[in-house]
């Protein structure tokens, strides 16, 4: 299972998020469990924030 969302203050890069998303799919026809689908949605939300620049890096 991929790592859970990062603790507050540490941002994951788009590359890290994409790798976590890819890790959910073990093969092309993979079906995700309910837990994995929730993780996938959370990863996509985090990726959108990073791509939009909505998240600021903690000092």
Express each pLDDT in 2-43 by its tens digit: 455 554 557 799 999 999 999 999 888 878 999 999 999 999
pTM (two decimals)? 0.70
Provide the domain count of the chain: 1
Angle, helix 34-52 to helix 14-24, in steps of 10 degrees: 160
In a domain, 8, yes or no: no
59 assigned to some structural domain = no
d(CA 9, CA 11): 6
Establish if 23 belongs to a structural domain.
yes
């Amino acid at each position: 299972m991929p790592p859970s969302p990062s603790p507050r203050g540490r941002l994951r890069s788009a590359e890290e998020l994409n790798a976590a998303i890819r890790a959910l799919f073990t093969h092309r026809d993979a079906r995700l469990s309910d837990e994995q689908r929730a993780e996938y949605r959370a990863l996509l939300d985090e990726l959108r924030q990073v791509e939009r620049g909505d998240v600021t890096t903690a000092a």
